[in-house]
Structure 1
Amino acid sequence: MSSSTPVLQIDIVSDVMCPWCVIGYKQLAQALQATGTAYEINWQPFELNPQMPAEGQNLREHIKEKYGSTDAESAENRARMTEIGNELGIDFRFSEDMRMHNTFNAHQLLHWAEQGGRKHDLKMALFTAHFTDRRNLSDINVLADIAAEIGLDRAQALAVLQDQRYADEVRGNEQFWVQQQITGVPAVIFNRRHLVTGAQGVANYTSMLKQLSEMQD
């Protein structure tokens, strides 16, 4: 691929509590590989539940309260996501005691990891920690552990979360995307111009990438 090949800029606005965010990313990743697209992904912060208390909330209770879903509907949706996840290499391990967590600290840690070029790696590790290992992502010690597990400095990670040094920047970034009329995730923005919401599927992403390539030629 020549150095003159246009690089597609991809902003993905997401929250690590969002199963469709990791599903959508994996679908997009397959489409990017299939089309040989040169790209750069920038993960952007969004909190699905900014008022979530530190102790979190039972997932089933949360879904029922927020969306009005019945237990049967919620179970059916989780089964569907698990099946889709299996096809994409995502190991969803939903359980009756699974909890939703406050993710503001997780977003701050991701902001810090970006400075060392490890934001994407940490994002993937956080998805796995929540959906596969069911770890508490509102606990700063757990977050520091996850950072260390991918080779980042645990002490620095913990310090970042203890002193909240990036809190204002992260709040500002979150507000920016809200001001762009992003009200749900995943939201994928190509070249800061073309917005796609929701997990679209590999075929649809592939078609979009081909159209974008033709527009860039």
Structure 2
Amino acid sequence: MTARHLLSLLALAALPSAAAAAVPDDNPFGAPPVADSQLATMRGGVRLPNGFDVAIGIDIQTRVNGALALQTVYASEGPNAGLHVYTGDGETRPLAPSTVRIETASGSARPTVSVTNGTPQNWPVPAGQTLVPVVANGPGMAGQAGLFSLREDDRGMVVTLDAPALQIRHLVGEATGVAVANTADSRTIDTVSAVNIDLKGVGSLLAPGIMAAERVMQEALRGR
């Protein structure tokens, strides 16, 4: 055996074996994980790199033959933070023809940009609205309109209403919108949705930036 071979064997012997390798730490941060119940009470907005806080609100309503079937309301913060699911009492309340409006509040240190798919002046009054206490990833809840369920994962939340010959899904998360599958005839299905973005701490000097944000949102809506 040459000296070179001997040195190679000694080097291999000095390497740690797989059995002696360190076990990965399941908690690398050194602190106990925060419970889901506590996380649910925390602020869920977005903080931009420049320090501005952005609060987001989403309201999606779907009506079948004028009657509210499914409404999903999400708020990233505030007294009603989180996702809430509602249904109607079966009473018909027709919607106005859909339009797209982008409104920016003026004269305020906290401008709010609103994107509404529908006519805000004729937004349906939430009369007869009933809260559906669905549990994320839990069993479905039966109601007058059908079976309600909520699925949540790292991509967001999906609220589903399963009814005879009809399925309605409201998506909130990476993708936000509505998916409807209907196999029945003579049904009129309308959906109206609103997205509110509250830019906290944004002064009047950033008004041009708000206008630029409006243009970006308009371009996005035209491309849909």
Range of TM-score over shorter length: under 0.3
- TM-score of the superposition, structure 1-length normalised? 0.25
Q: Which has the higher strand share?
A: 2
Give the number of the structure with larger relative contact order, counting CA–CA contacts within 8 Å between residues 6 or more apart: 1
Radius of gyration: which is bigger?
2
- TM-score of the superposition, structure 2-length normalised? 0.25
Q: Which has the higher helix share?
A: 1
